[in-house]
Amino acid sequence: MRAIWKGSISFGLVSIPVALHNASRVEELKFRLLRGSDLSPVNYKRVAQKDGREVPWDEIVKGYEYEKGKYVVLKDDDFKRVDLEATDTIDIVDFVALDEINPIYFYKPYYLEPLKGANGAYSLLRKVLSDTNKAGISKVIIRTRQHLAAVKCSGDLLALELMRFEDELVDPKAIKISHEKTPGAREVAMAKTLVDHMSEEWDPSRYTDDYRSALMKLIEKKVAAGGKELATKEKTSKKPTNVIDLASVLQQSLKEASGEKKKSGPTKKAKASAKKKPRKKAA
């Protein structure tokens, strides 16, 4: 796997040479716009709003709209004036308990690979982060842009996860929630029981992109049919209903969840706990 960035992790006087690798990929199906009559691909043009004329690249500049319809132009030299000093270092400024960080701050993970001579310090940092369940909060410049990031333990690897700055998040207080009706003790107890019935050990392979799979099957059918239209099936979708009696809905959900558990058999968690139970000695 090709590294997208090479540098080092730095905290205190410790420096660990590392390479940065993508830890995620976007599995989106890409489509081209075509002319319907002959399936000729359609290209995009850069057209000016004022007169509809196509604009060549050498006439295009970058502008910031500071008022409605008013722009200030920024040239390459302007961007260079505000460039932060490009360093190849992930500077850890604080170590923070992972439990204290709202997951909403995280948005893109990368793997960190130890480079030559870094294995000892790399393993030490990974073990300390694992044992303490902490993350190293840092700032790093990747491709000319500064990011807030967290160095975390991920199995046998260290991972760097890019984070959003606080001012990039919408204040949750902007969402108004009514607190007029609070759940009763009976509803809370049943809801907890339902959650317990539906609980499983984390296994990411259990969850797949159903829409992408169905779309790929449709594409394969259309290719096999020579691009002809396929017969459509009528779909019935569940409509949301207003929950009037929460207790009865929870009760019904518990019945269905219990039935599903019986069909699928004991979970890994249940099997593991059953193995741990000591057998009774014969009298």
* Model confidence pLDDT, tens digit, residues 245-268: 677 877 888 888 877 666 666 555
- pTM, whole model, 2 decimals? 0.68
Task: Classify residue 209: in a domain, yes or no.
Answer: no
| Spatial separation of the C-alpha atoms in residues 4 and 175, rounded to whole Å | 38
Task: Classify residue 150: in a domain, yes or no.
Answer: yes
Q: Hey, what are 58's tokens? A: 């050498």
Task: Classify residue 155: in a domain, yes or no.
Answer: yes
Taking only the tens place, the pLDDT of each residue in 82-124 is 665 657 889 999 999 999 999 999 999 999 999 999 999 999 9
Task: Classify residue 128: in a domain, yes or no.
Answer: yes
Q: What is the pLDDT of residue 126?
A: 95
| Spatial separation of the C-alpha atoms in residues 149 and 162, rounded to whole Å | 4
Q: In 10 A of CB 48, how many CB atoms? A: 11
Task: Classify residue 123: in a domain, yes or no.
Answer: yes
Task: Classify residue 101: in a domain, yes or no.
Answer: yes
Query: Which CATH number do you get for residue 163?
Result: 2.40.290.10
Q: How far is CA 188 from the centre of its chain?
A: 30
| Spatial separation of the C-alpha atoms in residues 122 and 156, rounded to whole Å | 10
Taking only the tens place, the pLDDT of each residue in 182-209 is 788 888 888 888 888 888 888 888 877 7
Task: Classify residue 17: in a domain, yes or no.
Answer: yes
- Sign of the torsion angle spanned by Cα atoms 163, 166, 168, 170: positive
Q: How many domains does the chain have?
A: 1
- Sign of the torsion angle spanned by Cα atoms 33, 36, 38, 44: negative
Q: Hey, what are 44's tokens? A: 């995009």
Taking only the tens place, the pLDDT of each residue in 6-45 is 988 888 888 899 998 988 776 667 778 888 888 788 888 8
Task: Classify residue 15: in a domain, yes or no.
Answer: yes
Provide the residue range defining the domain that includes 88: 5-26+83-168
